[in-house]
Structure 1
Amino acid sequence: MVVGEVIQERELIIIGGGPGGYNAAIRAAQLGIEVTLIEKEKLGGICLSKGCIPSKLYAHTADKLGDWKHLQQLGIEAGEPKFDIERHHNYMQQTVTSLQKGVEVLCKANKIEVITGSASFMTGNRIGVESGDTFEMYKYEKVIIATGASSYIPEEIDTRFNHVYSAQDIYGIQEVPEHLVIYGSDYIALEAATSFNAMGSKVTIVIDGGTDFGFDTDINKELSRVLKKSKVKVIKDTVIETVEESDEQVTLYLMKQDEKLTIEGSHLLVSIGFRPNTKELGLEALSIETDDNGFLVVNEFSETTEKNVYAVGDVTIGPVLAVKAIKQGKVAADHIAGKTPELNLRYIPTVVHTSIPIAYAGLTEEEARDEGYQVTTGQFAMAGNGYASIAGKKEGLVKLIKDGETDLLLGVHMIGQGAIGMISSGITALEMAARDEDLSYPFYPHPSFNEGWLEALESMTGEAIHVPPNKQKKEAEPVGS
């Protein structure tokens, strides 16, 4: 190995080129900071190459596969579609490569120095970078850790099995599974379940130790109904004991309370959480506080407990979401540049690109009750929405939650077509401390999915036009009064 002779000085070093890292790099460069970005693989990170983009492409494909029956209803002659996974992979790779090149172009345009290699901390504000047969040493003024996280696989599951996949490699699969068993119930598990179900797989979801999907109660109920209708089997409240693999199948041995269960499938996806990518970073050279799982503790400016060291994205405590990484990256860059940004994760949105999309922000009904609010809710089933009928997308509902005393909006929960696009309005309303009158006053375009909001709002006061009176009365009664 060739070792560099001189320690090179840099103003800002960013370790990791995923959404958090490259957004931080570009924002810092915009603010006049000289930036060096170190990435051991491709810019864009796991999100672009194996996570966000591939999973949403699969979801998009599944949605198109589900449209053919509606096309026939519209009078458009179309036979039952056939899915070619090889052509799909080619398109996915073209999309990923194009986006990666786009990030490269942006970094170059912003005069960001990009180094390919593996970085690790040394003492004295130094970072060593190993790239092939060379090793260089850099001294930094400030540094941002943006190394992300990797799928957690429990020790009961042998990762060497050929038919066992993590959340970060399932979309590299070369065949449509005959029977995909999914161990986990997070958004990644749900997206994979409905995508592969649409592509022809039999799907079984095994919920790890829980009895629902972690959404608001009414969203859980609607999702369960939709999954049952799609013939996706859900087994709740289980604990995995062992997993075995033969040439043709994967077998899970589970405990459900005192009952032993055996589940057999052609493939297994495990999606029950993540662990931070910090093992090879040499963090022992620093004094950074972490939680029990190794995620880094940061403040509202994304500063760690080590001076001049920031951290953003999945490597930090909090939801493993690209939207969090992007925001934290910009906040860290702003703070390094001397600005006073603000970051609060209370209203971070969660979106799930299932066959019936899910989006929410703010408190669930149960959480609002636990925080002491006198809860009032309003709901509207999308089956009563005119545009949903036109589009053949009548599944789902809108649920809004407010404080019955102050009328302050507390939470927005949606399942159904258009939910992911509409959640931005909910986030804005929550951030601006909107009350129900602020949301019911404006015009809502007709016909549109958005009208579901107005109906849910008006059902709080028994004034919704397309909700039966007896149902409105029940929903409008404050809980905890």
Structure 2
Amino acid sequence: MVVGELAHERDLMIIGGGPGGYHAAIRAAQLGQTVTLIEKEALGGVCLNKGCIPSKVFTEGAAKLASLRKADQFGIESESIHFNLKKLQAHKVKMIHQLRKSIASLCKANKVELLNGSAFFLSEDRIGVENGDQYDVYRFKHAIIATGGSPTVNAKVEIDHERILNIWSMTNLEMIPEKLVIFGSDYIALEIAMAYHTFGSQVTLLIEQEDLLFDYSINRELKRVFKKNGINIIRNAVISAVSADENHVSIHLEKEEILTCTHMFVSKGQTPNVENLGINRMGIEMTESGFIQVNKQCQTSMPAIYAIGDVTEGPALAAKAIRQGKAAAEAIAGISTEVDFRFLPIAVHTLPPIASVGLTEQEAYEQGYQVNTGQFSLTSNGFAALRGERDGFIKVITDKESHLILGMHMIGYGAIELITSGVFTLEMAARDEDWLFPAYPHPSINESMLEAVEAIKKQSIHIMPEKERFPV
């Protein structure tokens, strides 16, 4: 076909069927757009098929296994508990297929046209789509780039997907590694560390910086939990070379230390999938880091073209892509909207889980706030105690002058579900008094959030009062 000979007309073309892409497609269809969604591999993108969902199946499996090992206190007796990796793998595949089918059904119900193929821009209003021998040209009024990212490549670590793995292959292993070294400190690295430790691996975590990446109180608690579980952390790790044979991986660190393991997992973030899209030829503006530059409506330097998700700067999180996808669809439909990720929640499915939103204590000081903090240990929460989930705490950071809540940080049972309350708190510019007024369900972990706020004012009922100091 000669370009320009025939072009199918569409309102909106979306390249990429991951969380951002299909949310954008369905939202645009709700708003009356004629939508075509193009995915070259499988619906759901990397998140569903290779990343978030597979890893969360593993973390959930680890959580259930850990819970069973503590079930004796509830009178649940078992002579032995056997973990079957093949069954977990089968469950993972089943869940991926079910969720992928659900996305396809939702798209069909919303009259979103699904195309399989590789898409690239021919001009500022045309896209070519190749699928084997078939090639079609589409003229669009608007387009959204949602092509996601790929695991960042480290020049000194060659991924072979057998002994040296990334997130795309780690959850495909057919055996539990005897000794697993993890290179990275992002949420995926931490989740894999805890999951495989629970499954029986001896785990070592290599991080390039001095400490983990959360509020320092969370870092301290997480390191305590890791130490209790026998997970070793090597800080300021710089890899000089990695080699693998049929049975082992040798990791050479710059301090002349050599680590030997059976498997290595590398999690060093995402690189945006912007190659072969033709956007450089069109002159779409990029950031210095190689991401597509967008405004608060996710619009690129070409007004008819938008970009969302991992191809834009910011955390490589599905939550970000989903919000951007909806905002882009609404902006295209003429609705006044924008994205603001100041209060983007971070969730890590470790054991115990971690959740965070807003400023850390360090960041609050650096931004010039007079800081107050309140912290409540789950050890003192009755519901956490009866569940046998005493590890962790909830920490609240406020501005001493205005009493505005600046950040909430949690590690412990229920943290990921509870953090939404923290998001609402920050979005609505709540003060500590707004947390003190309501009644809270009892018994529940929710009460720990209240007592963390009460701790700021020394009103917490379940924190022992400080002993009075008398002069000697």
TM-score, normalized by length of structure 2?
0.97
- Residue 40 of structure 1 is matched in structure 2 by 40
Deviates more, 1:79-88 or 1:136-145: 79-88
Identity %: 47
Offset of residue 81 of structure 1 = 1.6
What is the CA-CA distance between 1:79 and the residue it aligns to? 2.9
When residues 188 and 2 of structure 1 are mapped into structure 2, their CA distance, relative to the original with a 3 A threshold, is farther
Question: Is the 8 Å Cα contact of residues 121 and 128 (structure 1) preserved in structure 2?
Answer: yes
Distance verdict in 2 for CA 1:2–1:71, change over 3 Å: farther
Match of 1:269 in 2: 265
Equivalent in the alignment of 1:242:
241
Q: Shift in Å at residue 159 of structure 1?
A: 2.4
Give 1:478's aligned residue.
none
Q: Is 2:334 the counterpart of 1:338?
A: yes
Correspondence for 1:252: 251
2:207 match: secondary structure: strand
How many angstroms does 1:468 deviate by? 2.3
SS at match of 2:257: strand
Write the distance in 2 (CA, Å) between the matches of 1:162 and 1:196: 16
CA distance in 1, matches of 2:261, 2:69: 29
Q: 1:382 maps to which residue?
A: 378
Determine if contact 2:161/2:169 at 8 Å carries over to the other structure: no
CA distance in 1, matches of 2:370, 2:268: 34
Mean Cα deviation higher: 420-429 or 281-290: 281-290
The 8 Å contact of residues 392 and 410 in structure 2, kept in 1 or not, is answered as yes
Query: Aligned in 2, Cα 1:89/1:5: closer, same or farther, shift over 3 Å?
Result: farther
| Structure 2 counterpart of 1:392, from 382, 388, 393 | 388
> 1:3-82 counterparts in 2 under 5 A?
6-82=6-82
The alpha-carbon distance between structure 1 residues 372 and 131, as it changes in their structure 2 partners (threshold 3 A), is: same
Structure 1 pair 471–438 and aligned structure 2 pair: CA distance change class (3 A): farther
The code of the aligned residue for 2:343 comes to: Y
Deviations 1:275-322 (A, max 9, x none): 001112111232222223311111110111122110011111000000
* Contact 1:383-1:394 at 8 Å conserved across structures: yes
Aligned residues of 1:121 and 1:127 also touching (Cα < 8 A): yes
* Pairing of 1:145-160 with structure 2 (within 5 A): 145-160=145-160
Higher mean alpha-carbon deviation, 272-281 vs 402-411, is at 272-281
Q: Secondary structure at the match of 2:442?
A: coil
RMSD of aligned residue pairs (Cα, Å): 1.6
Worse-matched range after superposition: 26-35 or 80-89: 80-89
The more displaced of 133-142 and 110-119 is: 133-142
Query: Contact between 2:13 and 2:37, CA under 8 Å: does it hold in 1?
Result: yes
Deviations 1:405-461 (A, max 9, x none): 000000000000000010000000100000000011111111111111111111101
Amino acid paired to 1:214:
L
> Which of 307, 312, 318 is matched with 1:316 structurally?
312
- Partner of 2:238, secondary structure, is strand
Task: State the shift of 1:211 in Å.
Answer: 1.3
Aligned-pair distance for 1:74? 1.1
Quick check: 1:275–1:293 contact (8 Å CA) kept in 2? Answer: no
Q: Please state how far the C-alpha of 1:169 moved relative to its aligned partner.
A: 2.2
Which runs of structure 2 are paired with 1:63-102 in the superposition (5 Å)? 63-102=63-102
* Aligned partner letter, 1:118: S
| SS of match in other structure, 2:6 | strand
| Rounded Cα–Cα distance in structure 2 between residues aligned with 1:471 and 1:185 | 39
Summarize the Cα distance change of 1:341–1:472 in structure 2 as closer, same or farther, 3 Å threshold.
Answer: farther
AA aligned to 1:90 is A
Where 2:168 maps in the other structure, the secondary structure is coil
Q: Tell me if the contact between 1:253 and 1:261 (Cα under 8 Å) persists in the aligned partners.
A: yes
- Amino acid of the residue matched to residue 432 of structure 1? M
When the two structures are superposed, what TM-score results if normalisation uses the length of structure 1? 0.95
Alpha-carbon shift at residue 27 of structure 1 (Å): 0.1
Deviations 1:155-191 (A, max 9, x none): 1112236311112221112211111110001000000
Tell whether the 8 Å contact from 1:83 to 1:199 is kept in structure 2 after alignment.
yes
Tell me the amino acid that sits aligned with residue 198 of structure 1. Answer: T
**Do the aligned residues in 1 keep the contact of 2:179 with 2:262 (CA within 8 Å)?**
yes
Whether contact under 8 Å (1:4, 1:135) holds in the other structure is no
Aligned pair in 2 of structure 1 residues 2, 287: CA closer, same or farther (>3 Å)?
closer
Which residue does 1:104 correspond to in 2? 104
In the other structure, the counterpart of 1:356 is 352
Deviation (angstroms), 1:331:
0.2
Q: Distance in 2 between matches of 1:343 and 1:248?
A: 48
Secondary structure, counterpart of 1:100 in structure 2? helix
> Is the CA contact 2:10–2:138 (under 8 Å) kept in the aligned structure 1?
yes
